[in-house]
Amino acid sequence: LLHVLSDYGHTDLAYSLLLREQYPSWLYPVTKGATTVWEHWDGIMENGDFWSRNMNSFNHYAYGAVADWVYCCAAGITPAEGFPGYSKVRIAPSPDVRLDWLEASLDTRHGRIISRWKKQDSLWRYEITTPVDAEVVIDGKTFLVSAGSYIYFSEKP
């Protein structure tokens, strides 16, 4: 769901769904003590009853795809098209003003990729580390870089 929202230009709505604590959302189960992703967002309802005792996985991948969205969209780490296995990477982070920072790292056979962003005064600071050639996209601007660590600043998230 989050990928589809972002693919169609609604990353702000994807963040709203991600960060929401009321049902329906991914954080609703956390308010009920969850440490895994539930099959049903309302696995345990407000009144404490179970949605269904027979069909209620409390560790379900389908909605767990939210973590993939955090890596691919929020942190922006994806393999460059035509370069499987992260032999070349595209890093296009999508920060949101409701979060002060986000950091994601991914260990690949080529080394560790790191995408970090945070609010710094009135700017956004992006720290990118790549073990391979990369296309880094910050605030709509594309930078073609080789392996290394880079810092960028932007006024927009």
Give the pLDDT of residue 60. 63
Which distant-in-sequence residues (6+ apart) come within 8 Å of 111 by Cβ? 131, 132, 147
Q: What is the pLDDT of residues 26-70, one digit of tens each?
A: 788 888 887 777 777 777 777 777 766 666 666 666 655 788 999
Asked if the bond preceding 24 is cis, omega within 30° of 0, the reply is yes
Q: What local confidence, expressed as pLDDT, does residue 75 receive?
A: 98
CB 136 within 8 Å of CB 92: yes
Q: Residue type for 137, please?
A: V
Judge: domain 75-154, CATH 3.40.50.2000. Answer: no
Distance, CA of 120 to CA of 100 (rounded, Å):
9
Q: What CA–CA distance (Å, rounded) separates 3 from 7?
A: 6
Alpha carbon 46 to chain centroid, angstroms? 27
The structural domains of the chain, with segments of one domain joined by +, span 2-66, 75-154
Per-residue pLDDT at 100? 95
What would the two tokens of residue 19 be?
Answer: 């960060």
User: For residue 20, is pLDDT > 70?
Assistant: yes
How is residue 87 written in tokens?
């032999």
More confident residue, 1 or 59: 1
pLDDT in tens, 89-126: 999 999 999 999 999 999 999 999 999 999 998 999 99
Determine how many CB atoms are found less than 10 A away from the CB of residue 97: 11
Q: Which residue has the tokens 């920060």?
A: 95
Distance CA 68, CA 80 (A): 16
3-state helix, strand, coil in the chain (%, to 5): 25, 30, 45
